[in-house]
């Protein structure tokens, strides 16, 4: 294991992944951290008295880009916005399906203006923009809480995304949505407790979910890498997979040994400054090549 550089279910879970590797995860959208900082508190990890090192944040962000490209992936960027420090967490912008983009509706007022800039980028790049039909008190926070799974979507709810959004998402995209209830506020988005690796495997943190949701994941993932709570709190599930390279913010030794045994190369790409705002590697990236078949 080494670093490439510092640089309640809505339906039956059904069969596991189809054979073959993930059909997405080679192309990502990212936003430079020019204006990143911890200026408010909207999750348990954020504390305004903890100052992010701006120079180190940019270095870590830049090295993440390099690591994705070294692994064979591609990165597109959008312009940062001075008044929106969390726009750097591109995963929350929405969800891509081919040339369709489902734009998020953020729960907290501090982040709601991001949606305007996110939708503008995707529209300028030829995407059809989809806004979910939601009641005024329902929210959807994009790929922080959703994963494309072949012709289905695995979606989290409980803290930032509402269950009603799962119904609306399924109707808008014509897909089956499998719902996972998040119960630990430290794992306020699904992407802090779940990372698909291939057609049979995923890194999972069951402590983040209720019992029924654990059963959904059990049916969906035949070979899980089950994290202990202390491992999950390192944000190691908040990782991305490019081919056979798992790019992680931190890799506990046991997790690394299992991944290597399974034939993966682990790239540790530190993002300590972004962890101060409750975001890791996957939070900083939005997959642009997702296809719901």
Tens digits of per-residue pLDDT, 242-282? 999 999 999 999 999 999 999 999 999 999 999 999 999 99
Q: Which run of H or of E encompasses 97?
A: strand 94-97
Q: What is the dihedral of CA 199, 172, 9, 225, to 10 degrees?
A: 30
Residue 92, φ and ψ in degrees, nearest 5: -80, -5
- Coil, strand or helix at 116: helix
Active site includes 62? no
DSSP state, residue 35? T
pLDDT band at 293 (very low <50, low <70, confident <90, very high): low
**Catalytic residue (one of 166, 189, 195, 267):** 189
- Give pLDDT, residue 1: 41
List the domains of the chain with CATH numbers.
27-287 (3.75.10.10)
Residue 226, φ and ψ in degrees, nearest 5: -90, 120
- Give pLDDT, residue 9: 30
CA atoms within 13 A on the CB side of 131: 12
Tell me the two tokens of residue 163. 């269950």
Q: Tens digits of per-residue pLDDT, 140-155?
A: 999 999 999 867 999 9
CA quadruple 85, 86, 90, 92: dihedral sign = negative
- Give pLDDT, residue 22: 86
Q: How open is the CA angle 181-184-190, to the nearest 5 degrees?
A: 50
Residue 230, φ and ψ in degrees, nearest 5: -65, -35
Please report, rounded to a whole number, the percentage of residues in the chain having pLDDT higher than 90. Answer: 89
- Give pLDDT, residue 50: 96
Q: How open is the CA angle 25-27-32, to the nearest 5 degrees?
A: 115
Q: Which run of H or of E encompasses 255?
A: helix 253-261
- Give pLDDT, residue 19: 40
DSSP per position, 39-95 = -S--STT--TTS---HHHHHHHHHHHHHHHHHTT-EEEE----TT-GGGG-GGGGEE
Q: Which residues contact 10 (CB under 8 A, 6 or more apart)?
A: 163, 166, 167, 170, 176, 177, 178, 179
DSSP per position, 188-249 = -SGGGTEEE-BSSEEEE-GGGB-HHHHHHHHHH-SEEEEPPHHHHTTTTTS-EEETTEEEES
What's the whole-number mean pLDDT along residues 97-101? Answer: 96
């Amino acid at each position: 294991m080494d670093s490439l550089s510092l640089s309640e279910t809505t339906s039956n879970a059904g069969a596991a992944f189809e054979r073959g590797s993930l059909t997405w995860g080679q192309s990502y959208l990212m936003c430079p951290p020019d204006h990143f900082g911890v200026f408010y508190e909207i999750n348990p990890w954020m504390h305004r008295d903890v100052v992010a090192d701006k120079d180190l944040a940019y270095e870590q962000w830049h090295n993440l880009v390099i690591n994705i490209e070294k692994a064979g992936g591609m990165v597109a960027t959008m312009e940062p916005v001075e008044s929106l420090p969390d726009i750097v967490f591109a995963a929350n912008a929405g969800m891509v399906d081919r040339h369709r983009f489902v734009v998020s509706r953020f729960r907290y007022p501090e982040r709601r203006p991001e949606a305007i800039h996110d939708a503008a980028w995707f529209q300028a790049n030829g995407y059809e923009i989809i806004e979910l039909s939601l009641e005024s008190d329902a929210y959807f926070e994009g790929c922080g809480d959703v994963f494309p799974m072949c012709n289905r979507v695995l979606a989290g709810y409980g803290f930032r995304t509402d269950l009603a959004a799962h119904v609306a998402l399924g109707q808008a995209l014509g897909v089956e949505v499998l719902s996972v209830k998040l119960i630990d506020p430290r794992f306020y988005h699904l992407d802090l407790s779940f990372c698909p690796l291939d057609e049979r495997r995923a890194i999972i943190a069951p402590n983040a979910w209720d019992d029924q949701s654990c059963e959904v994941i059990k049916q969906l993932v035949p070979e899980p890498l089950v994290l202990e709570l202390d491992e999950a709190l390192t944000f190691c599930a908040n990782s991305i997979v490019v081919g056979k390279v798992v790019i992680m913010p931190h890799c506990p030794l046991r997790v690394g040994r299992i991944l290597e045994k399974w034939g993966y190369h682990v790239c540790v790409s530190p993002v300590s400054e972004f962890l101060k705002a409750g975001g890791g590697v996957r939070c900083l990236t939005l997959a642009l090549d997702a296809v719901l078949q």
